[in-house]
């Protein structure tokens, strides 16, 4: 309806929930009392803004008559969508004060919504009209893409973004890939502990210079190899716990694969924890890893596996590792805040 009005050269200028009626499942736009024709704009600045402050665009709340066009209504639609999906406006302001409303709308970033919908609403709420959707039809097209799990124009098509959409459309294939990656992780975890121990060969030979020199070269090579393998395992661990698990979370029928991910994840986390020693960086990564496992196992109000007992055990392990990190590096406000938030 809004796009049709724009095609006819009419800008509503006061879109808000009260002006959108739903009859027989179809929304209808009403109250064109302050609507403007596109060819009526005279390039002058209005004495005062006209409309409902909470739904005004920056150019509208500043009274810039010549800048009002279809994108002004696109902004108002973004506010309405945000309010419908979150139950609140994207800004908090004293709407009875036009000065406060104008300052908030023009200078404060809106509260973000998650996922693709958040990207779509964020583009509709751009303060610069040139960065918004250029028509209500373009906004509607991206909203339809969100519903159909297709890429949206408001999100750069990164590899992970495309992979997440692929996972939703091809559930069976993604589950199979996840199981295959589990096998790779199991093999790497088994060899990593041996490789790390080889890194301590540097101090073995001290009796004879020639023997010590040769042993030192072998130790350096072994340590370099161990560090490479260790880094690969840590990177793959992050990918499995955060990226792959995040993709499987919304895939129906993927619960067995997610449970297997958790089981293998706990195995290699414990293996790495035994090798952590006084490495505060690794302790930080391990603590975050256990926290992620706890969230997957039994976090309330999320798509967890419902394993509350296992989740609490993983959370306790995360807190123990965080306390060890704080003990080693002294008073760290960031680490203390992180620990307190878990408690």
pLDDT tens per residue, range 186-217:
555 555 555 555 555 555 545 556 666 776 77
Q: Given a cut of 90, is residue 91 above it in pLDDT?
A: yes
Closest to 41 in 3D by CA, of 19, 84, 11: 11
Please count the other Cβ atoms lying within 10 Å of the Cβ belonging to residue 233: 21
Q: What is the average pLDDT across 159-181?
A: 60
Q: Given a cut of 70, is residue 222 above it in pLDDT?
A: no
Structure tokens at 298: 């039994």
- When comparing pLDDT for 106 and 51, which is higher? 106
DSSP 131: G
- When comparing pLDDT for 237 and 311, which is higher? 311
Structure tokens at 129: 């009209």
Q: Given a cut of 50, is residue 55 above it in pLDDT?
A: yes
Q: Given a cut of 60, is residue 99 above it in pLDDT?
A: yes
Query: What's the pLDDT band for 45 if we cut at 50, 70, 90?
Result: very low
Asked if residue 286 lies in contact with residue 237, where contact means CB atoms within 8 angstroms, the answer is no
* Secondary structure (3-state) at 21: strand
Query: What's the pLDDT band for 47 if we cut at 50, 70, 90?
Result: very low
Q: What is the average pLDDT across 135-158?
A: 84
CB neighbours of 32 closer than 8 A, spacing ≥ 6?
5, 10, 12
Domain boundaries, the chain: 2-154
Summary mean pLDDT of the chain: 76
Q: Given a cut of 80, is residue 8 above it in pLDDT?
A: no
Range from 7-16, 27-36, 209-218 that averages highest in pLDDT: 7-16
Range from 25-39, 231-245, 295-309 that averages highest in pLDDT: 295-309
**What is the pLDDT, as a whole number, of residue 231?**
65
Architecture per CATH, domain 2-154, reads as Orthogonal Bundle (1.10)
- The pTM of the whole model exceeds 0.75: no
């Amino acid at each position: 309806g809004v796009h049709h009005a724009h095609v006819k050269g009419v800008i509503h200028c006061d879109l808000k929930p009260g002006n959108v009626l739903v009859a027989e499942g179809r929304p209808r736009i009403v109250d064109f009392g302050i609507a403007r024709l596109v060819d009526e704009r005279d390039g002058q600045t209005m004495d005062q803004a006209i409309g409902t402050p909470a739904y005004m665009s920056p150019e509208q709340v500043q009274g810039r008559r010549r800048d009002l066009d279809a994108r002004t209504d696109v902004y108002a639609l973004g506010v309405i969508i945000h309010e419908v999906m979150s139950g609140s406006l994207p800004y908090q302001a004293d709407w009875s004060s036009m000065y406060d409303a104008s300052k908030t709308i023009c200078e404060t970033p809106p509260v973000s919504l998650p996922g693709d919908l958040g990207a779509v609403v964020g583009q509709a709420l751009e303060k610069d009209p040139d960065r918004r959707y250029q028509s209500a039809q373009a906004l509607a097209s991206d909203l339809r893409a969100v519903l159909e799990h297709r890429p949206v124009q408001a999100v750069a098509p990164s590899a992970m973004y495309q992979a997440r959409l692929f996972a939703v459309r091809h559930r069976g294939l993604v589950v199979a890939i996840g199981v295959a990656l589990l096998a790779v992780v199991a093999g790497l975890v088994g060899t990593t502990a041996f490789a790390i121990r080889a890194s301590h060969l540097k101090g073995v030979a001290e009796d004879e210079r020639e023997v010590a020199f040769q042993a030192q070269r072998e130790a350096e090579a072994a340590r370099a190899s161990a560090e490479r393998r260790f880094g690969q395992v840590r990177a793959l661990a992050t990918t499995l716990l955060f990226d792959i698990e995040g993709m499987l979370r919304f895939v129906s029928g993927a619960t067995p694969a997610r449970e297997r991910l958790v089981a293998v994840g706990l195995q290699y986390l414990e293996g790495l924890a035994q090798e952590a020693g006084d490495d505060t960086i690794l302790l930080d990564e391990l603590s975050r890893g256990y926290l992620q496992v706890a969230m997957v196992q039994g976090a309330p109000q999320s798509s967890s596996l419902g394993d509350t007992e296992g989740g609490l055990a993983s959370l306790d392990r995360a807190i123990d590792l965080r306390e060890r990190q704080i003990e080693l590096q002294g008073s760290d406000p960031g680490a203390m805040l992180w620990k307190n938030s878990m408690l």
